[in-house]
Amino acid sequence: MEHENDLEPLPCDKDSLKRSIREALVHIVGKDPRNATSRDWLQAVAYAARERIIEQRMYTKRLFNQEQVKRVYYLSMEYLIGRMLVNHLMNLGFYDACCQALEEMGVSLHEIIDLEPDAALGNGGLGRLAACILDSLSTQCLPGYGYGIRYEFGMFHQHIEHGEQVEHPDNWLRYGNPWEFPRPEKIYPVHFYGYVVEHRDHGVVRHHWEDGEEVIAMAYDLPVPGYGNKNVNNLRLWAAKATRDFDLDYFNEGDYIRAVQEKIESETISMVLYPNDATAVGRELRLKQEYFFVSASLQDILARHIKLGYPITDLSDKVAIQLNDTHPAIAVAELMRLLVDQHLVPWDRAWEVTREVFAYTNHTLMPEALETWPVALMERVLPRHMQIIFDINFHFLNEVRHNFPGDNNIVRRLSIIDEDHGRQVRMAHLAVVGSHKVNGVAALHTELLKRNLFRDFHRLWPDRFVSITNGITPRVWLNQANPELAQRITRQIGADWVMDLGRLKQLEDCLTDAEFLKDFRDIKRRNKERLAAEIRSRLGLSIQPEALLDVQIKRIHEYKRQLLNVLHIITLYNRIRDGHAEGQAPRVSLFAGKAAPSYVRAKQIIHLINDVADVVNNDPVVHNRQQVVFFPNYEVSSAALIIPAADLSEQISTAGTEASGTGNMKLALNGAITIGTLDGANIEIRQAVGEENIFIFGLNADEVDRLRAEGYRPGDYYESNPELRRALDMIRDGFFSPDDPGRYRDLVHHLLTEDTFMVLADYASYIQAQDRVDALYQDPQAWSRMALLNTARMGYFSIDRTVQEYADKVWGVQPEGWN
Ligand code: 26V
């Protein structure tokens, strides 16, 4: 593939990096090295890295084209990729050289790392999973492309003011983004509104979508380097641009301001990430965002396919598309439109191709998260798609009738159109019908999908459903986040674990190695000190590094039950004040997480945590025996700081509600012990680490269902458990909110009467489990042995295993050369 115009690959030794950094500083950033700021140096280093990355991207692309590979496209509204500098330097293998190069120029890499803003283009688990999958696709040399939206504003910044969450815009592009390559020539029109005209062409009915508005999608490429190889994949994010900079009609009429206003309105499509996690929003702008990035991505995928000379009807030989939840599910109708209306493929053949191409991952069972769009809205915004969905549904329901003759109820239940709630398009149904595989993200989750949400679909097409348990990337969540532990492990068992996490099993041999165990403990301690320093500088609070660090870090949601944790904290507090906690280990309870701005009860939970923290942290009676921290603005970079320091991992959702969880895996990998329910991937974590190495409590999913069916009465638990009653009374009566004693009356009332997520039912069992945690922590040897076993047994939860399962069971793609 050599060509006379090819470059000499840029060398990656220290001196070459030094030269590149200095040149970038002067030529690109435009600064004199004598008075460059830390941020200028950060930009310069990023440019030096990206020069090398983009070369490898070019060769990767050539190789994939030449080898005529099948590509997998991941369609996701969210990518929580966080900071990129350390990741890229480590994956490319010149982190150390870069560190030295900078040092010789009088700059500390460590000091500039924190200046990089997080790319927070996602809400939580779903977005972070997408980022881990991209890392794995590149690392495993799989031809994988991400497609998403280049939000101008990502996840909001959370400030805590007087104990309450306040949202601030995330202007992450303020200083520019050195990792992205704008592609002003990669543009596609995306159409909205208008109407459909039918006409006949040699006896065939054709559809024309006319009038309405057009927005331009422009590509920005973020190269995704693999670890330890030369493979660099691509994440393509779309930004909305006005079709013409100004609408000439208005312009000519002299209405200059109106012309500019329309430009701005069309560009709002990619302006902001919806900050909802687990509640569908049903707003027109959200639908437009979904269609905008799906349409651009599919046009781009088809253009590549055709440019490479492949016939359109062979699409599924060369293309697999994964739908990350239903957010991109309109792709099913869009691909049908492109095939039938634009490429004139007959309907039946187009439908075969479509189903072979798509697969759909479901990430939640929460009913309020299921996306539905009013037929009237869809008809107005996407008139041709609404027709196509009706046609898909017509053919599909015929198949249902054929399979279940005379059963009209099943037809109604399976229909893509929900007729019972004012005619809505059920996006999950469209996704299932239009895919050849549907997967849940953990074993229990897939079982519950088959049993509940997709019960009828499972009866119809049992083979369509597969379970693929989530995973996490060891590159980010151990190698980068916990460098000391990573190096110590490498010294013990070699470096292969970074790409083959199962190797950590060998650490079991160290259970009796006093020196290794001591190092393991000391590293945890230093990670806590690092976190403590950050907490001191952010919050002015000094936490005890010898205390048990108990963390619950995730979105704030009732189903995740931060309230259960708070009830335990209050119980401990009461025991200390009563003098009933003499032998108790000192404990720091740390929370971090954002609430959806419109989710009133979740915001109240944040307020309560901060109110309880205020009381506990300022009570001289508990001095240093118990502390409570709300760590503000949880994001990928704060996760990387907190996780390596944690002792105890709170995974306490009501059984049957958390699809998988991935924080549970990150924490266990870093030697935190889990206290959790039999929910999501916790079940598989228990299986992996052994039930003696995890603290399981509470009702299981079947018991939750049974109790609910029998008639759950939370008041009974309140009446019969004095410690629970006392804690709830204190919250209700204003003990933690003396300035506003009624603040939590409604919250407690809800717990006593409805308690949707059965906090009270699991309280007693949770407290007992916490007592066992406390007892174990008193025995540092036993604790670190158990912690080490958690680290050693996390191999299964590598994202590389997850991605291999997708590649084999769903996509039919293979690794392609390079190593
Ligand atoms: C829904 C919506 C509705 C429209 C507005 C924006 C929006 C954003 C996100 C969602 C659903 C989020 C679902 C989600 O994040 N699920 C999490 O997925 C993780 C990865 O599979 C899994 O580990 C978590 O258990 C699951 O909660």
DSSP of 347-360, one letter per residue? HHHHHHHHHHHEEE
Q: What is the pLDDT confidence band of residue 819, given thresholds at 50, 70 and 90? A: very low
**Same-domain check for residues 457 and 526:** no
83's CB contacts (< 8 A; 6+ apart) are: 113, 116, 117, 118, 119, 636, 637
Closest by alpha carbon to 817, among 147, 240, 142, 303? Answer: 142
**Same-domain check for residues 518 and 432:** no
- CA–centroid distance, residue 226 to ligand 1 (Å): 26
**pLDDT of residue 432 exceeding 90:** yes
Question: Average pLDDT of 149-162?
Answer: 98
pLDDT score recorded for residue 251: 64
Give percent above pLDDT 70 in the chain. 98
DSSP, res 670: T
User: What crossing angle do the helices spanning 759-777 and 780-792 adopt, rounded to 10°?
Assistant: 110
- CA–centroid distance, residue 660 to ligand 1 (Å): 10
Q: Whose CA is nearest to atom 16 of ligand 1?
A: 363
pLDDT score recorded for residue 245: 61
**Same-domain check for residues 302 and 391:** yes
Q: With a threshold of 0.85, does the pTM exceed it?
A: yes
**Same-domain check for residues 404 and 541:** no
pLDDT score recorded for residue 248: 65
**pLDDT of residue 430 exceeding 80:** yes
Give the chain's length. 819
Task: Give the nearest ligand 1 atom to 125 CA.
Answer: 19
Q: What is the pLDDT confidence band of residue 280, given thresholds at 50, 70 and 90? A: confident
443 in a domain, yes or no? yes
Per-residue pLDDT reduced to its tens digit, 347-394: 999 999 999 999 999 999 999 999 999 999 999 999 999 999 999 999
pLDDT score recorded for residue 256: 78
Q: Could you give the dihedral angle defined by the CA atoms of residues 511, 514, 515 and 516, in that order, rounded to the nearest 10 degrees?
A: 10
CA 783 to mean position of chain CA atoms: 31
575 in a domain, yes or no? yes
- CA–centroid distance, residue 370 to ligand 1 (Å): 10
Characterise 211 by phi-psi region: left (phi > 0), alpha (psi -120 to 50), beta (else).
left
Domain residues for the domain of 639 are 511-794
**Same-domain check for residues 346 and 421:** yes
Task: Give the nearest ligand 1 atom to 129 CA.
Answer: 20
**pLDDT of residue 247 exceeding 80:** no
12 in a domain, yes or no? no
- CA–centroid distance, residue 564 to ligand 1 (Å): 22
Domain containing residue 611: CATH number: 3.40.50.2000
**pLDDT of residue 252 exceeding 90:** no
**Same-domain check for residues 418 and 554:** no
**Same-domain check for residues 530 and 415:** no
250's CB contacts (< 8 A; 6+ apart) are: 256, 258, 259, 262
Q: At which residue do the structure tokens 């220290």 appear?
A: 14
Among 363, 438, 446, 559, name the best residue to mutate to test ligand 1's pocket (greatest count of ligand atoms within 8 A of Cβ): 363
Rounded Cα–Cα distance for residues 627 and 770 (Å): 16
Q: Whose CA is nearest to atom 8 of ligand 1?
A: 277
Among 285, 325, 439, 598, name the best residue to mutate to test ligand 1's pocket (greatest count of ligand atoms within 8 A of Cβ): 325
**Same-domain check for residues 552 and 456:** no
Residue 401: CB atoms within 10 Å? 14
422 in a domain, yes or no? yes
**Three-state secondary structure readout of 123-191:** CCHHHHHHHHHHHHHHHCCCCEEEEEECCCECCCEEEEECCEEEEECCCCCCCCCCCCEEEEEEEEEEE
Per-residue pLDDT reduced to its tens digit, 486-499: 999 999 999 999 99
818 in a domain, yes or no? no
pLDDT score recorded for residue 263: 82
Among 76, 121, 126, 453, name the best residue to mutate to test ligand 1's pocket (greatest count of ligand atoms within 8 A of Cβ): 126
pLDDT score recorded for residue 255: 78
β-strands 181-192, 213-225 pairing: antiparallel
**Same-domain check for residues 702 and 772:** yes
**Same-domain check for residues 421 and 521:** no
**Same-domain check for residues 247 and 315:** yes
**Three-state secondary structure readout of 222-288:** EEEECCCCCCEEEEEEEEEEECCCCCHHHHHCCCHHHHHHHHHHHHHHHCECCCCCCCCCCCHHHHH
Question: Average pLDDT of 213-233?
Answer: 97
Residue 402: CB atoms within 10 Å? 8
**pLDDT of residue 179 exceeding 90:** yes
**pLDDT of residue 552 exceeding 80:** yes
Characterise 690 by phi-psi region: left (phi > 0), alpha (psi -120 to 50), beta (else).
left
Per-residue pLDDT reduced to its tens digit, 733-781: 999 999 999 999 999 999 999 999 999 999 999 999 999 999 999 999 9
- In the predicted model, what is the mean pLDDT of the chain? 96
The runs of H, that is alpha helices, within 415-513 are 427-433, 443-451, 455-460, 474, 483-493
Which residues form the pocket of ligand 1, taking CB atoms under 6 Å from any ligand atom?
123-126, 129, 274, 276-278, 280-281, 325, 363-364, 369, 441, 470, 658-662, 680
Q: What residues are labeled active site? A: 363, 554-555, 560, 662, 666
**Same-domain check for residues 139 and 237:** yes
Report the number of secondary-structure helices (H) and strands (E) in the chain: 33, 24
What is the number of structural domains in the chain? 2
Question: Average pLDDT of 607-628?
Answer: 97
16 in a domain, yes or no? no
Q: Whose CA is nearest to atom 24 of ligand 1?
A: 661
217 in a domain, yes or no? yes
- CA–centroid distance, residue 199 to ligand 1 (Å): 42
User: What crossing angle do the helices spanning 38-66 and 14-23 adopt, rounded to 10°?
Assistant: 110
Phi, psi of 298 (to 5 degrees): -70, -40
Question: Which tokens belong to 600?
Answer: 């009133």
pLDDT score recorded for residue 700: 98
pLDDT score recorded for residue 5: 74
- CA–centroid distance, residue 369 to ligand 1 (Å): 8
Rounded Cα–Cα distance for residues 186 and 425 (Å): 32
478 in a domain, yes or no? no
User: What crossing angle do the helices spanning 745-753 and 722-732 adopt, rounded to 10°?
Assistant: 150
pLDDT score recorded for residue 257: 80
Rounded Cα–Cα distance for residues 674 and 664 (Å): 7
Give percent above pLDDT 90 in the chain. 93
